[in-house]
Amino acid sequence: MDETERQPLADGSLLAAIDLGSNSFHLIIARVEHGEIRPVQALAEKVQLGAGLEHGVLSPEAIERGLECLSRFAQLLETIAVERIRVVGTHALRAAANRYAFTRAAARILGTRVDVIYGREEARLVYLGVAHTLADDAQSRLVIDIGGGSTEFIIGQRFEPLRMESLQMGCVSYAETWFPEGRISAERYRRAYDRARLQVFRIRHAYHASHWEECVGASGTLQAIETILAQNAWCASGIDKNGLSELERRLLQYNSVDDIDVPGLAPARRNVIVPGVAITSALFDVLGITHMRTSKGALREGVIYDLVGRLTHEDVRERSVTALMLRHAVDAATADIVERRARLLYTATRKAWQLTVQDWDLLHWAARTHEIGMSIAHKHFNRHSAYLLRNTDLPGFSQEEQEQLALLALLHRGKLRLELLADVPAAELPRLQYLVCIVRLATCFKYVEQLEQLPDFSILASERALTLEFPEGWLAQHPLTARELECEQEMLGRLDLALSIS
């Protein structure tokens, strides 16, 4: 069976997801039972990765805390197939200039890559996790997730998110900014509230109560607030404004987070509960929320359900690429030609170059999208394609996937400028060079095949070399293609890849 074919998920199959949040790391392991997903193990540790983010750089101490946590998580993953594990990083890793120092080490510990995701992708996955815990009714809902470094807003119906936004405000970042060293005062609280109100104000028209029928909270912070309100009988169920006001009044009686003693508040939540309440109060006031229920479904559950889709041919990334092609009127016939040639080259080289199914996915999407920049201008269209791929919201894609897809589009033609690969981590560089080689060669033939059937030709790959053998006389009859391949010999040589043509 072809390596790129996914196997169906049999009953008893185990899947795992890890959410590397700015405040806490969460692990969930689930089992497939009669077509449904049943959680069997869940762990959470307060790591506060975001608290170690100083001037855009993760501190060594924060990295060490995170890696120690993942070493403990790794023990539970030993019996799960690596392709059935997905690890996602959120705001702290998005913002960290040195995120690779953490993600590469984390990947070695866990045996699988770490996907840092954009804010709107985080919002999509949060909604997916929440939607699977709620009744499958037709009413519209606003889902809010207050994380350590960002807050996600999603309006959707059933399992479909319709509108998504991510704002850079969270309980850990607000604690660091407005309540340094855990000091509490009415003035500090007011500043935090006002800042949150200002940030939410710019999305108020799209997310106001007039656009949805139910509000659902989906984070540890909001669940903690609900627990406190219920235990103190300040709200019959969920969260409402009166309960929030009472909790706010009680918290402002203290001068330090270490002194907070409110029934229902877990000790681990003391340092983030005050900024969490300030943000929540601002959301209620600006968006017209009168009542919020909470859901135990969150990002990690969303990752599990998204992973199921990827493993059973319901990959949302395919929908994203198809929509992108339609939006930019891509010539589907040309994309098909490039994809077929990329598939041929991938199949011939995957063992010698140790390429994976994930590498094929990237090549497949690169072949489909490399010409989207034509919708802007034919001149330098590869640059336009790269810009669009890097900056368009593509549901399902991680930040690194979009960056690598953009790089393949940029480098698929023209002069191969090595400085464009300068930021690629050393461990990733050989693999990406191989993918660049395949995409460049696949696009060499697209104009030939629009006019005639390309003949069978042999492909032989070794570690840093590739040989293409064409039928006798074919290259002489196609001097333009022969010239392009000669140019590729020089270009690929810059990557220390030897291309032989005969």
> Residue 179: which pLDDT band, with cuts at 50, 70 and 90?
very high
Please state the rounded mean pLDDT for residues 397-412. 96
181/335 Cα distance (integer angstroms)? 56
User: Which among 265, 295, 325 is the end of a domain?
Assistant: 295
Residues 389 and 284 grouped into a single domain:
no
Phi, psi of 114 (to 5 degrees): -110, 125
Give me the sign of the Cα torsion angle 102, 104, 109, 110. positive
Whether 45 maps to a domain, the answer reads yes
Whether 486 maps to a domain, the answer reads no
Other Cβ atoms less than 10 A from the Cβ of 452: the count is 8
Contact 52, 61 (CB under 8 A): yes
Residues 47 and 179 grouped into a single domain:
no
Name the more confident of 387 and 449: 387
* Digit-coded pLDDT (tens) for 200-232: 999 999 999 999 999 999 989 999 999 999 999
As a whole number of Å, the end-to-end CA separation of the chain is 31
> Residue 316: which pLDDT band, with cuts at 50, 70 and 90?
very high
* Digit-coded pLDDT (tens) for 452-488: 677 788 899 999 999 999 999 988 888 888 899 999 9
Give the strand pairing for 24-33 and 14-20.
Answer: antiparallel
> Residue 6: which pLDDT band, with cuts at 50, 70 and 90?
low
CATH of the domain at 86: 3.30.420.40
**Which residues partner with 115 through β-bridges?**
88
Contact 62, 53 (CB under 8 A): yes
Residues 207 and 252 grouped into a single domain:
yes
Phi, psi of 27 (to 5 degrees): -120, 135
Kindly report the pTM of this predicted structure: 0.88
* Digit-coded pLDDT (tens) for 126-136: 999 999 888 76
Whether 78 maps to a domain, the answer reads yes
Other Cβ atoms less than 10 A from the Cβ of 209: the count is 14
Please choose, from the candidates 60, 35, 40, the residue with its C-alpha nearest in 3D space to the C-alpha of residue 49: 60
Assigned token pair, 358? 């994930």
Residues 342 and 393 grouped into a single domain:
yes
3-state SS, residue 162: strand
User: Which among 295, 324, 354 is the end of a domain?
Assistant: 295
Assigned token pair, 298? 């969150």
| Range of weakest confidence among 8-17, 113-122, 221-230, 319-328 | 8-17
Instruction: State the pLDDT at residue 480.
Output: 85
Residue 326: DSSP 8-state: H
Q: Which amino acid is at 215?
A: C
Whether 496 maps to a domain, the answer reads no
3-state SS, residue 286: helix
Segments forming the whole domain that contains residue 51? 14-118+301-308
Question: Domain tally for the chain?
Answer: 3
450 pLDDT higher than 70: no
Whether 490 maps to a domain, the answer reads no
Please choose, from the candidates 350, 305, 360, the residue with its C-alpha nearest in 3D space to the C-alpha of residue 6: 360
Phi, psi of 25 (to 5 degrees): -100, 135
The H or E element that residue 53 is part of is strand 53-54
User: Which among 295, 326, 350 is the end of a domain?
Assistant: 295
* Digit-coded pLDDT (tens) for 38-63: 999 999 999 989 888 888 999 999 99
Phi, psi of 394 (to 5 degrees): -120, 95
280/196 Cα distance (integer angstroms)? 9
SS (H, E, C) 21-48: CCCEEEEEEEEEECCEEEEEEEEEEECC
275/58 Cα distance (integer angstroms)? 22
Residue 458: DSSP 8-state: E
* Digit-coded pLDDT (tens) for 246-277: 999 999 999 999 999 999 999 989 999 999 99
Residues 336 and 287 grouped into a single domain:
no
Please state the rounded mean pLDDT for residues 286-307. 94
Give the strand pairing for 151-157 and 57-58.
Answer: unpaired
Instruction: State the pLDDT at residue 5.
Output: 56
1 pLDDT higher than 60: no
CATH of the domain at 443: 1.10.3210.10
Whether 226 maps to a domain, the answer reads yes
Q: DSSP secondary structure string, 221-282?
A: HHHHHHHHHHHTTS-SSSEEHHHHHHHHHHHTT-SBGGG---TT--GGGHHHHHHHHHHHHH
Contact 109, 74 (CB under 8 A): yes
Quote the distance between the C-alpha of residue 476 and its chain's center.
47
423 pLDDT higher than 90: no
Whether 201 maps to a domain, the answer reads yes
The H or E element that residue 87 is part of is strand 85-89
Q: Which amino acid is at 241?
A: K
Percent of the chain beyond pLDDT 90? Answer: 80
Residues 288 and 156 grouped into a single domain:
yes
**Which residues partner with 39 through β-bridges?**
30
Residues 149 and 274 grouped into a single domain:
yes
> Residue 425: which pLDDT band, with cuts at 50, 70 and 90?
confident
Residues 407 and 338 grouped into a single domain:
yes
3-state SS, residue 391: helix
3 pLDDT higher than 60: no
CATH of the domain at 201: 3.30.420.150
Mean pLDDT of the chain: 92
Residues 152 and 97 grouped into a single domain:
no
Cα distances (angstroms) measured from residue 64 to each of 67, 105, 271, 323: 5, 10, 21, 41
Residues 437 and 326 grouped into a single domain:
yes
Whether 138 maps to a domain, the answer reads yes
Instruction: State the pLDDT at residue 4.
Output: 54
Residues 149 and 290 grouped into a single domain:
yes
> Residue 10: which pLDDT band, with cuts at 50, 70 and 90?
confident
Buried b (16+ CB within 10 A) or exposed e, 458-484: eeebeeeebebebeeeebeebeebeeb
92/462 Cα distance (integer angstroms)? 40
Instruction: State the pLDDT at residue 452.
Output: 66
7 pLDDT higher than 70: no
The H or E element that residue 401 is part of is helix 399-411
Percent of the chain beyond pLDDT 70? Answer: 97
Residues 154 and 284 grouped into a single domain:
yes
